Amino acid sequence: MDLTKLIKTQRGGTLEAPLNILFASSEVAPFSKTGGLGDVAGALPSALAQRGHNVQVITPLYRHIDPAELSLSLRLRTLDVPRKARSQSKVEVRLWEGRMASGVRIFFVDAPQFFDRDGVYGYDSDQFEDNAARFAFFSRAVVEFARHSSVPVDVVHCNDWHTGLAPIYAKHYYGDDLGDTRFVFTIHNLAYQGVFDAKTFAATGLPKGDYFKEDGLLHDGSLNFLKGGILYSDAVTTVSQTYADEIQTEAGGCGLHDVLASRAGAVSGILNGADYGVWSPDVDDSIDVRYDVDTLNGKRQNKAALQHGFGLPVRPTMPLLGFVGRLTEQKGLDLLIPALRTKLDAITNEREGFQVVFLGEGEQRYVDALEKLQADYPKRVGVRVGYEEGLAHKLQAGSDILLVPSIFEPCGLTQIYALRYGTLPLVHATGGLADTVIEGSGGDATGFVFQDYEQEQLEDALARATSTYRKYRQWRPLMVNAMRQDFSWGESARAYEELYKA
Ligand code: ADP
Ligand code: GLC
How confident is the model over 348-403, as pLDDT tens digits? 999 999 999 999 999 999 999 999 999 999 999 999 999 999 999 999 999 999 99
Does 362 contact ligand 1 (Cβ within 6 A)?
Answer: no
- Indicate if the pLDDT at residue 14 is higher than 70: no
Q: What separation in Å is there between the alpha carbon of 409 and the centre of ligand 2? A: 7
Closest C-alpha residue for ligand 2 atom 10 = 412
28 to each of 85, 89, 291, how far by Cα in Å? 29, 28, 28
Phi, psi of 94 (to 5 degrees): -90, 155
For the entire predicted model, the pTM comes to 0.95
What are the structural domains, with CATH classification, of the chain? 16-273+490-501 (3.40.50.2000), 297-486 (3.40.50.2000)
Q: What separation in Å is there between the alpha carbon of 89 and the centre of ligand 1? A: 38
pLDDT of residue 400: 98
Does 37 contact ligand 2 (Cβ within 6 A)?
Answer: yes
3-state secondary structure of 362: strand
Q: Are 381 and 300 in contact (CB under 8 A)?
A: no
Q: Would you tell me how many other CB atoms lie within 10 Å of the CB of residue 425?
A: 25
Does 416 contact ligand 2 (Cβ within 6 A)?
Answer: no
Model confidence at 125, in pLDDT bands (50, 70, 90)?
confident
d(CA 264, CA 259): 9
Q: What separation in Å is there between the alpha carbon of 181 and the centre of ligand 1? A: 32
How confident is the model over 267-325, as pLDDT tens digits? 999 999 999 999 999 999 999 999 999 999 999 999 999 999 999 999 999 999 999 99
Does 411 contact ligand 2 (Cβ within 6 A)?
Answer: yes
How confident is the model over 204-250, as pLDDT tens digits? 999 999 999 999 999 999 999 999 999 999 999 999 999 999 999 99
Q: What separation in Å is there between the alpha carbon of 350 and the centre of ligand 1? A: 32
Q: Give the pairing of strands 401-404 and 424-428.
A: parallel
How confident is the model over 481-498, as pLDDT tens digits? 999 999 999 999 999 999
Does 326 contact ligand 1 (Cβ within 6 A)?
Answer: yes
13 to each of 6, 7, 16, 384, how far by Cα in Å? 10, 9, 10, 55
Q: What separation in Å is there between the alpha carbon of 471 and the centre of ligand 2? A: 33
Does 228 contact ligand 2 (Cβ within 6 A)?
Answer: no
Greatest C-alpha distance within the chain:
74
